[in-house]
């Protein structure tokens, strides 16, 4: 029988994140490069840096709201956006064919202006968490899930788990449903902290279009789908423990991957 050597870093890993599981599902070799070997990525996509910078600006708004500070105006949000963008300049950023740093700055301004004028800037209920980190067991024998929730709100009857997204186009209700697995897992952790409260899972989407749109899309807390997602985690963890890491070429995934050079050099 051939013995498969499992990297020590894989054995030591005592938690899983949703993004790590999705990375393994899309490309096991990318999972190894990032989470086992800890290799630095040679480049990162502009959409990733842009989304992070928008997220930081929106987070700063809710932090001010939580602490009772004066609410930041558009210029203050743009300052946070720019600081976050510049903090990523140590990486090579891959821009789209028609993108520049300047054009993305103009787009960010339009998006943040639309955010400030939307219902998202007037959250329902009391803010009880921003970038709230939660950790807990999903399935016995599988490392804990470690999650970070963008915004947690509480009303008399509900706890609202809200996730912010930037998107190239308007989302449909079906798209929100398809993307809900992460919120279902986070909901499973939250309901242990707030027993008796009904959960609302919510996506807040701001489109990266010439005329940005703001959407609020709720999706149900489906326990049957939650159980299925837990079983997926269990199976992915079993696959990770087996130590079988291999490339999964895809036009969608490979184009913006920061491990292209490492992947090309990999010989198994």
- The predicted structure's pLDDT at residue 91: 75
User: How confident is the model over 153-174, as a mean pLDDT?
Assistant: 96
**How many CB atoms are closer than 10 A to CB 172?**
11
80-139 pLDDT tens trace: 999 999 998 777 888 988 999 999 999 999 999 999 999 999 998 999 999 999 999 999
Residues 255 and 184 placed together within one structural domain of the fold? no
3-state secondary structure 158-196: EEEEEEEEEECCCCCHHHHHHCCHHHHHHHHHHHHHCCC
Residues 52 and 128 placed together within one structural domain of the fold? no
Instruction: Using pLDDT thresholds of 50, 70 and 90, give the confidence band for residue 5.
Output: very low
Residues 151 and 231 placed together within one structural domain of the fold? yes
Residues 222 and 128 placed together within one structural domain of the fold? yes
Residues 162 and 89 placed together within one structural domain of the fold? no
Residues 136 and 59 placed together within one structural domain of the fold? no
Residue 7 has pLDDT above 60, yes or no: no
- The predicted structure's pLDDT at residue 13: 66
| pTM as predicted | 0.90
- The predicted structure's pLDDT at residue 6: 41
Residue 164 covered by a domain: yes
**Weakest mean pLDDT among 49-58, 134-143, 255-264:** 255-264
User: What CATH number should be reported for the domain holding residue 143?
Assistant: 3.90.320.10
Q: Supply 72's token pair.
A: 């930041």
Pairing label, strands 126-136, 92-94: unpaired
Residues 87 and 156 placed together within one structural domain of the fold? no
% of residues, the chain, pLDDT over 90 = 81
Residues 95 and 153 placed together within one structural domain of the fold? no
Torsion of CA 141, 143, 147, 153, to 10 degrees: 30
Residue 19 covered by a domain: no
Length of the chain equals 268
Number of domains in the chain: 2
Residue 13 covered by a domain: no
- Residue numbers of the domain that contains 138: 124-235
Residues 86 and 130 placed together within one structural domain of the fold? no
Residues 189 and 136 placed together within one structural domain of the fold? yes
Residue 139 covered by a domain: yes
Residue 17 covered by a domain: no
Instruction: Using pLDDT thresholds of 50, 70 and 90, give the confidence band for residue 259.
Output: very high
Distance CA 197, CA 203 (A): 19
Residues 137 and 97 placed together within one structural domain of the fold? no
Residue 107 covered by a domain: yes
Residues 50 and 98 placed together within one structural domain of the fold? yes
186-236 pLDDT tens trace: 999 999 988 889 999 999 999 999 999 999 999 999 999 999 999 999 999
Q: What integer best gives the mean pLDDT of the chain?
A: 92
Residue 21 covered by a domain: no
Instruction: Using pLDDT thresholds of 50, 70 and 90, give the confidence band for residue 2.
Output: very low
Distance CA 161, CA 155 (A): 12
Residue 165 has pLDDT above 80, yes or no: yes
Residue 36 covered by a domain: yes
């Amino acid at each position: 029988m051939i013995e498969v050597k499992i990297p020590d870093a894989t054995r030591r890993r005592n938690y899983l994140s949703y993004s790590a599981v999705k990375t393994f599902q899309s490309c096991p070799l990318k999972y190894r490069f990032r989470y086992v070997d800890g290799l630095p990525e040679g480049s990162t996509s502009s959409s990733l840096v842009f989304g992070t910078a928008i997220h930081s600006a929106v987070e700063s708004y809710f932090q001010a709201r939580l602490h009772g500070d004066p609410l930041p105006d558009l210029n203050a949000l743009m300052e946070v956006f720019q600081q976050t963008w510049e903090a990523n300049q140590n990486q090579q950023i891959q821009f789209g064919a028609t993108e520049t740093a300047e054009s993305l700055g103009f787009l960010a301004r339009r998006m943040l202006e639309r955010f400030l004028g939307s219902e998202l800037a007037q959250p329902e209920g009391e803010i009880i968490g921003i970038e709230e980190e939660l950790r807990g067991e999903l399935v016995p024998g599988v490392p804990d899930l470690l999650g970070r929730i963008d915004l947690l709100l509480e009303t008399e009857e509900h706890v609202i788990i809200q996730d912010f997204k930037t998107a190239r186009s308007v989302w449909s209700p079906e798209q929100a449903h398809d993307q809900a697995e992460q919120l279902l897992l986070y909901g499973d952790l939250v309901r242990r902290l707030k027993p008796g409260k009904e959960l609302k899972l919510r996506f807040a989407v701001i489109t990266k279009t010439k005329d940005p749109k703001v959407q609020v899309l709720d999706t149900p807390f489906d326990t049957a789908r939650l159980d299925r997602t837990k079983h997926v985690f269990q199976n992915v963890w079993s696959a990770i423990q087996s130590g079988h890491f291999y490339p999964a070429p895809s036009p969608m995934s490979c184009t913006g991957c920061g491990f292209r050079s490492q992947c090309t050099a990999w010989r198994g």
